């Protein structure tokens, strides 16, 4: 029998796409579906997914949990857990549309929750850490339950299938958000498990990733020292945890995180192109966070509350294109995915390896 | 000009330089043949040893060579700083042997003519066998 | 003795057709195996004294010599091997403890040889080190728990003292006394040129070598030989030696015969006295005592130098390492049971301790389980024989490797395992001036530099094949390893899967 995600490590090639309106204009989800559909041949129908930001304005203060259940029993057990730790403001099945090419769907539920103040106080954790630990707990301990989205005013939608079919299945044309990312998967060996599709998410961090990182186990064994559990054995999972650790826990900026995970080569650091203080910092990062250097090919788009970040490995072993048009920024594996939804752009370029593109919402005027 | 120098700190008195020298100048194709049948070809380098200090001695290729001055037939000459002997002109008078302050001109019982180090110019294009054979870099060919 | 109960171990075979009677062998053998007999006009040999160091074989200009195992055999017995019987005869004759040198030569499993490396195919490109940058620089030392920020919001880049290595290889501790001055000079100069470190061992540091201090690790062992303020301040790091892989649980003994003038001055002991290192440090009977010594040494050097604690790999090495990681030490060095020595009781060398591969795997995992892997760097020793052993050690979780035996081999050692006799024909493990000069440090240091450069190239090739372009992404990356011919328990301890999985 084939083993599923988490029992075996599965390498995958992929397509990724994303865009953001810097002015915070809400854009219908059908646009991201159209974009990713143009890279159909980069996926093989074994996984597709989306992340939308700003899609739940009516529940923007609650954490939105999207959960897959294998059975009603796991749902009941999870809901008991949720009731013990959270105030559940709203719960429902996520609306879907029957689709001939999307089959074997699990139970897919959505909860809008706030941590119970008494539980939160007793845990002595800050709120986001409390939520993150609860999510890791459910995924690690409750058999058949899998929280695949857990941030505020954002949500992940994913399934086994081609991404454009997944978009239709989840009725993304009924959502609107200021930023979207998408992923089409080309795993080399998997029976296809819904939880294994991407984006991978923790709190408001989502990652779509194309590549296969050779540093995986070094990264995994490091990050697991800090309470993370890499259950899925995927690159995307460990990269998400690295971002969560460095940004949320170590309070490092996204610019600095890029200098850690796609660190400049020593030859570059010593070349004299950096100021002395910058050189010190780069050396410090390469010493202190040496185990978080990511090697091997990757192109990723990170979604976070209020922005997107794109990054290539330092040798640029995977394609990635960026474009601007007015307040919009587009990022994709291939130019066609951008031109499909924005035929005329102000500027289009190919970011260099290790050079991050960080786009944040403009301050409200 | 590059010359052969010795560094007594590293000379082990293994005497291998003598054997490499003798074999190289014997005309035989290898060392076993050079010494076959009781042959004892004469080396042009000698290891001096005693009281814990050892070093090899061979022609210094002096800038003012007394041997050349003393040669009565013109067999000894200097070419590009290397002193060598034209054995066809040597009459075996041994004046050079007496004149050399280093004792570096050697004679043999089997032949009347003298022999001396020519930095392996004739047999190996100036790549001295003693330098190549020294196991501890105690003999070096260098510019000083 | 009229009756010889045991026979020579080796036979010296001389090809009479090749021998030119140059006597180089006779002049080079400190064991006086070879002799020219003028009456017979031939070379004769006394195999009884041969230790098979291969010096004569290497120096013979006509390749006339071979040293082979003596074909003479005691009657076959699977229980009582010839060696075991010979040892009984020796002890019956001398009444003494058997002594040996260098590492455990017994047929225990070599786990390095049962681990295979990965390479990239299709889904992930291999990287060509000739085309792309390939990095092997590593830092050893404590990492701060959390990033802190300066008042202006910039990252505070101060760290506790670290060692920066150009490649994850260092030369193991070998004392001046156990090895020669020229061997030390070769190691010191090579370490300096390579941008790595060598280790003084417990014999102090010769004044002439203070100039290489920036690439020197100074050792403080139970005998405290040669330890004083200048010594501590000269080194780049200080290593507290708690144990040695070749002889866990026992100390050291450098016979008075080797304590000549220079060694005596460097060790700060009278000439001719035996230098005895006690089995324990007599101020360290427990982990809290170790902490005090670590902190005392740091205090003495104004917290400017990382402190390494070196232990032998023994059964509960993981728990010990965990204690050391919390002792204030910056680096743990673990020495496996195949590590070398200048002299050890044979029974100890061959029967005490555990393989470095298993010790490393369990220490690394234990420190991670306890969340304290970043408190210390882990350096492993005890028979790292090649660049692939280095790569496997790093993938199992080591930050760097110490090489001792391999470094000595580069200097000419042929592992005759007779260091304790002091008659090393290669000029390494001896203090006899005529033998010491056989190791010309100008040659020695170059050979060490060549060796480490060669390994560095090979490490880069192997990393490139795995699609890794910096050694930090290899560290602890056990997914790059697969076991072959290992049982479940061994795989579990190593934390790797079997080939094919």
Containing C45, the helix (H) or strand (E) segment is strand C42-45
Q: What is the mean pLDDT of residues C42-62?
A: 95
Which of A210, A211, A216, A217 would you mutate first to test chain C, the one with the most C CBs within 10 A? A217
Q: How many helices (H) and strands (E) does chain B have?
A: 6, 6
The reply to whether residue C62 touches residue B32, judged by beta carbons under 8 angstroms, is yes
From the list B9, B14, B52, which residue is nearest C24 (CB)? B14
The pLDDT value given to residue A6: 62
- How far is Cα A337 from Cα C147, in angstroms, rounded to an integer? 39
Task: Give residue-wise pLDDT tens across range A94-146.
Answer: 999 999 999 889 999 999 999 999 999 999 999 999 999 999 999 989 999 99
User: Would you state the structure tokens that stand for residue A70, as one six-digit string?
Assistant: 């294998």
Evaluate if residue C299 carries a pLDDT over 50.
yes
The pLDDT value given to residue A234: 85
Strands C377-381 and A200-202, bridge-based pairing: unpaired
- How far is Cα B55 from Cα B140, in angstroms, rounded to an integer? 12
Residues C188 and C64 reside in one and the same domain? no
Counting every residue written for chain C, the total comes to: 501
The pLDDT value given to residue C1: 53
The reply to whether residue A290 touches residue C146, judged by beta carbons under 8 angstroms, is no
Q: Which residues of A touch C466 (CB under 8 A)?
A: 214
- How far is Cα C364 from Cα C325, in angstroms, rounded to an integer? 11
CA-CA-CA-CA torsion sign (B80, B84, B87, B92):
positive
Residues C175 and C253 reside in one and the same domain? yes
The pLDDT value given to residue C254: 84
Task: Give residue-wise pLDDT tens across range A298-357.
Answer: 999 999 999 999 999 999 999 999 999 999 999 999 999 999 999 999 999 999 999 999
- How far is Cα A320 from Cα A333, in angstroms, rounded to an integer? 4
Nearest CA in chain C to B41: C20
The pLDDT value given to residue C311: 97
The pLDDT value given to residue B38: 86
Residues C291 and C193 reside in one and the same domain? yes
Q: What is the mean pLDDT of chain A?
A: 92
> C284 or A187: which carries more pLDDT confidence?
C284
Nearest CA in chain B to C20: B35
Structural domain for C16, as ranges: 10-73+82-96
Evaluate if residue A213 carries a pLDDT over 60.
yes
* Local confidence band at C394 (pLDDT 50, 70, 90 cut-offs): very high
Residues C175 and C301 reside in one and the same domain? yes
Contacting residues for A265 by C-beta, under 8 A, at least 6 apart? A314, C133, C135
Structural domains present in chain B? 1-58+122-144 (3.30.70.20), 61-116 (3.30.70.20)
* Residues of A designated as active site: 14
Nearest CA in chain C to A282: C157
**Nearest chain A Cα distance for residue C4, angstroms:** 59
In CATH, the number for domain A56-152 is 3.30.70.260
Nearest CA in chain C to A12: C123
Task: Give residue-wise pLDDT tens across range C461-494.
Answer: 999 999 999 999 999 999 999 999 999 999 999 9
CB-based contact, C149 to chain A, within 8 Å: yes
Q: Tell me the Cα Rg of chain C.
A: 24
- How far is Cα A183 from Cα A39, in angstroms, rounded to an integer? 10
The DSSP code for A102 is B
Residues C90 and C186 reside in one and the same domain? no
Contacting residues for A154 by C-beta, under 8 A, at least 6 apart? A51, A52, A53, A54, A55, A56, A64, A177, A204, A206, A303, A305
Task: Give residue-wise pLDDT tens across range A150-176.
Answer: 999 999 999 999 999 999 999 999 999
User: Would you state the structure tokens that stand for residue C303, as one six-digit string?
Assistant: 């917290």
Residues C53 and C171 reside in one and the same domain? no
Residues C180 and C54 reside in one and the same domain? no
Q: What is the mean pLDDT of residues C208-215?
A: 97
Structural domain tally of chain C? 2
* Local confidence band at A364 (pLDDT 50, 70, 90 cut-offs): low
**Nearest chain C Cα distance for residue B40, angstroms:** 9
The pLDDT value given to residue A1: 42
Contacting residues for A103 by C-beta, under 8 A, at least 6 apart? none
Whether residue C117 lies inside any domain: the answer is no
The pLDDT value given to residue A8: 67
Residues C56 and C170 reside in one and the same domain? no
CB-based contact, C153 to chain A, within 8 Å: no
The reply to whether residue B14 touches residue C18, judged by beta carbons under 8 angstroms, is no
Nearest CA in chain B to C21: B35
Percent of chain A with pLDDT strictly greater than 90: 83
Q: What is the mean pLDDT of residues C166-182?
A: 96
The pLDDT value given to residue B144: 87
User: Would you state the structure tokens that stand for residue A274, as one six-digit string?
Assistant: 């950096």
Chains linked to B by 3 or more Cβ pairs within 8 Å: C
The alpha carbon of C327 is separated from its chain's Cα centroid by a whole number of angstroms, namely: 25
The reply to whether residue A252 touches residue C147, judged by beta carbons under 8 angstroms, is yes
Evaluate if residue A4 carries a pLDDT over 70.
no
The reply to whether residue C28 touches residue B12, judged by beta carbons under 8 angstroms, is yes
Task: Give residue-wise pLDDT tens across range A41-64.
Answer: 888 878 899 999 999 999 999 999
From the list C23, C434, C440, which residue is nearest B137 (CB)? C440
* Local confidence band at A211 (pLDDT 50, 70, 90 cut-offs): confident
Task: Give residue-wise pLDDT tens across range B65-102.
Answer: 999 999 999 999 999 999 999 999 999 999 999 999 99
E strand segments, C46-203: 65-69, 99-100, 115-117, 138-140, 163-165, 169-171, 198-199
**Nearest chain B Cα distance for residue C41, angstroms:** 10
CB neighbours of residue A33 within 10 Å: 24
Whether residue C401 lies inside any domain: the answer is yes
From the list B9, B15, B136, which residue is nearest C24 (CB)? B15
From the list C127, C133, C475, which residue is nearest A291 (CB)? C475
Write phi, then psi, for A304 (nearest 5 degrees).
Answer: -145, 170
E strand segments, chain B: 2-6, 46-50, 53-57, 76-79, 82-85, 139-143
Residues C301 and C380 reside in one and the same domain? yes
User: Would you state the structure tokens that stand for residue B119, as one six-digit string?
Assistant: 């930095």
Four-point Cα dihedral A51, A57, A61, A64, nearest 10: -40
The reply to whether residue C443 touches residue B133, judged by beta carbons under 8 angstroms, is no
Evaluate if residue A191 carries a pLDDT over 60.
no
Answer for the pair A27, A177: CB distance below 8 angstroms, yes or no: yes
Q: What is the mean pLDDT of residues A208-236?
A: 91
Chain C stretch 378-437, residues whose beta carbon is closer than 8 A to a beta carbon of chain A: 397
Tell me the domain boundaries of chain A.
56-152
CATH number of domain containing C327: 3.20.20.70
- How far is Cα B109 from Cα B116, in angstroms, rounded to an integer? 15
CATH number of domain containing C16: 3.30.70.20
Q: What is the mean pLDDT of chain C?
A: 95
Contacting residues for A354 by C-beta, under 8 A, at least 6 apart? A258, A262, A263, A264, A311, A312, A313, A314, A316
The pLDDT value given to residue A12: 62
Q: What is the mean pLDDT of residues C406-428?
A: 96
């Amino acid at each position: 029998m084939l083993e599923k995600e988490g029992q075996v490590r599965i390498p995958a090639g992929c397509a990724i796409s994303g865009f953001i309106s810097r002015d915070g204009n809400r854009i219908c989800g059908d646009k991201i579906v159209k974009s990713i559909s143009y890279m159909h041949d980069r996926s093989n129908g074994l996984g597709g997914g989306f992340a939308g930001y700003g899609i739940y304005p009516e529940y923007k203060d609650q954490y939105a949990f999207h959960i897959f259940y294998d059975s009603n029993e796991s749902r009941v057990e999870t809901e008991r857990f949720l009731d013990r730790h959270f105030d559940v403001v709203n719960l429902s099945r996520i609306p879907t549309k029957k689709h001939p090419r999307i089959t074997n769907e699990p139970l897919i539920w959505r909860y809008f929750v706030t941590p119970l103040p008494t539980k939160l106080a007793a845990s002595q954790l800050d709120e986001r850490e409390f939520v993150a630990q609860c999510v890791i707990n459910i995924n690690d301990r409750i058999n058949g339950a899998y929280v695949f989205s857990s941030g505020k005013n954002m949500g992940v939608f994913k399934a086994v299938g081609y991404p454009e079919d997944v978009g239709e299945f989840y009725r993304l044309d009924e959502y609107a958000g200021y930023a979207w990312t998408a992923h089409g998967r080309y795993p080399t060996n998997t029976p296809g498990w819904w939880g294994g599709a991407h984006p991978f998410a923790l709190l408001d961090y989502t990652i779509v990733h194309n590549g296969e990182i050779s540093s995986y186990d070094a990264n995994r064994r490091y990050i697991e020292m800090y309470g993370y559990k890499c259950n899925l054995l995927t690159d995307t999972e460990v990269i998400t945890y690295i971002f969560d650790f460095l940004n949320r826990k170590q309070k490092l900026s996204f610019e600095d995180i890029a200098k850690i995970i796609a660190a400049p080569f020593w030859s570059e650091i010593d070349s004299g192109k950096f100021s002395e203080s910058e050189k010190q910092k780069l050396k410090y990062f390469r010493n202190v966070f040496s185990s978080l250097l990511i090697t091997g090919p990757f192109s990723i788009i990170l979604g976070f509350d209020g922005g997107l970040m794109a990054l290539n490995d330092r040798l640029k072993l995977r394609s990635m294109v960026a474009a601007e048009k007015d307040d919009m920024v587009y990022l994709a594996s291939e130019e066609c995915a951008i031109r499909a939804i924005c035929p005329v752009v102000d500027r289009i370029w190919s970011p260099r390896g290790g050079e991050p593109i960080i786009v944040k919402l403009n301050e409200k005027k | 000009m590059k010359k052969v120098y010795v560094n007594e700190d590293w000379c082990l008195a293994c005497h291998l330089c003598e054997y490499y020298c003798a074999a190289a100048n014997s005309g035989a194709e290898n060392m076993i043949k050079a010494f076959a049948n009781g042959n004892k070809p004469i080396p042009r380098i000698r290891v001096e040893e005693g009281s814990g200090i050892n070093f090899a001695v061979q022609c210094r290729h002096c800038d003012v060579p007394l041997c050349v001055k003393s040669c009565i037939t013109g067999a000894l000459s200097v070419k590009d700083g290397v002193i060598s002997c034209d054995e066809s002109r040597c009459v075996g008078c041994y004046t050079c042997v007496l004149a050399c302050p280093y004792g570096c001109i050697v004679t043999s019982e089997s032949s009347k003519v003298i022999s001396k180090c020519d930095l392996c110019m004739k047999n190996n294009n100036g790549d001295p066998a003693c330098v190549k054979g020294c196991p501890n870099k105690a003999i070096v060919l260098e510019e000083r | 003795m009229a009756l010889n109960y045991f026979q020579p171990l080796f036979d010296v075979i001389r090809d009479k057709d090749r021998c030119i009677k140059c006597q180089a062998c006779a002049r080079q053998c400190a064991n006086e195996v070879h002799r020219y007999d003028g009456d017979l006009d031939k070379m004769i040999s006394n195999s009884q004294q041969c230790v098979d160091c291969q010096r004569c074989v290497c120096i013979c200009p006509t390749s006339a010599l071979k040293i082979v195992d003596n074909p003479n055999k005691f009657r076959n017995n699977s229980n009582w091997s010839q060696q075991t019987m010979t040892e009984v005869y020796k002890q019956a004759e001398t009444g003494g403890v058997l002594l040996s040198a260098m590492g455990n030569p017994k047929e225990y499993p070599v786990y390095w040889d049962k681990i295979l490396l990965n390479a990239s195919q299709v889904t992930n490109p291999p990287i060509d080190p000739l085309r792309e940058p390939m990095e092997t620089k590593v830092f050893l030392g404590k990492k701060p728990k959390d990033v802190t920020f300066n008042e202006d919001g910039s990252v505070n880049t101060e760290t506790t003292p670290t060692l920066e290595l150009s490649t994850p290889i260092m030369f193991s501790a070998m004392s001046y006394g156990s090895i020669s001055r020229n061997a030390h000079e070769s190691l010191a100069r090579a370490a300096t040129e390579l941008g790595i470190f060598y280790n003084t061992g417990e014999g102090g540091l010769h004044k002439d070598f203070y100039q290489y201090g920036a690439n020197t690790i100074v050792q403080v062992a139970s005998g405290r030989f040669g330890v004083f303020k200048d010594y501590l301040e000269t080194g780049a790091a200080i290593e507290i030696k708690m144990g040695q892989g070749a002889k866990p649980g026992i100390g050291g003994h450098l016979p008075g015969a080797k304590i000549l003038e220079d060694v005596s001055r460097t060790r700060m002991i009278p000439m001719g006295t035996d230098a005895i290192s006690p089995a324990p440090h007599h101020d360290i009977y427990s982990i809290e005592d170790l902490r005090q010594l670590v902190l005392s040494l740091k205090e003495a050097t104004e917290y400017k130098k990382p402190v390494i604690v070196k232990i032998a790999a023994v059964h509960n090495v993981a728990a010990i390492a965990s204690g050391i990681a919390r002792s204030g030490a910056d680096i743990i060095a673990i020495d496996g049971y195949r590590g070398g020595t200048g002299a050890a009781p044979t029974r100890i060398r061959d029967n005490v301790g555990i393989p470095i591969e298993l010790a490393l795997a369990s220490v690394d995992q234990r420190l991670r389980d306890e969340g304290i892997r970043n408190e210390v760097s882990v350096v492993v020793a005890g028979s790292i024989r090649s660049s692939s052993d280095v790569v496997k050690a790093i993938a199992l979780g080591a930050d760097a490797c110490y090489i001792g035996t391999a470094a000595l081999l580069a200097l000419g050692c042929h592992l005759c395992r007779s260091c304790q006799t002091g008659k090393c024909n290669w000029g390494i493990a001896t203090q006899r001036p005529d033998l010491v000069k056989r190791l010309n440090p100008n040659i020695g240091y170059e050979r060490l530099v060549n060796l480490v450069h060669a390994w560095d190239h090979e490490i880069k090739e192997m990393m490139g094949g795995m699609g890794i372009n910096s050694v930090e992404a290899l560290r602890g990356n056990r997914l790059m390893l697969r076991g072959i011919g290992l049982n479940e328990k061994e795989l579990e301890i190593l934390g790797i899967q079997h080939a094919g999985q």
